[in-house]
């Protein structure tokens, strides 16, 4: 059996971690200087990383809603 409250805490902590991680690529991608100077593959890697983490965060948010957290 799954302890819903414990699972809510775990998922919330994971979502907070992803929110924190998303700050780094968002900060880089918001700076024109980074976009101008960084190689295209580095910029693309940051965009892919950001998108992946957003999708993970959104999936966690949906799980939290489903559990009624």
Model pTM?
A: 0.79
pLDDT of 8-28, one tens digit each?
999 999 999 999 999 998 999
Mean predicted confidence (pLDDT) in 30-58: 94
Indicate the pLDDT class of residue 5, thresholds 50, 70 and 90. very high
* Tokens 């907070």 belong to residue: 16
Tell me the HSE value of 32 on the side-chain side, using a 13 A CA sphere.
Answer: 0
Predicted local distance difference test score (pLDDT) of residue 1:
65
- CA–CA separation, 36 and 4 (whole Å): 47
């Amino acid at each position: 059996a799954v302890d819903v409250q414990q699972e809510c805490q775990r998922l919330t902590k994971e979502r907070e971690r992803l929110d924190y991680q998303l700050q780094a690529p968002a900060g880089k991608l918001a700076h024109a200087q980074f976009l101008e100077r960084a190689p295209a593959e580095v910029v693309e890697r940051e965009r892919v990383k950001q998108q992946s983490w957003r999708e993970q965060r959104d999936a966690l948010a949906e799980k939290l809603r489903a559990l009624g957290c």
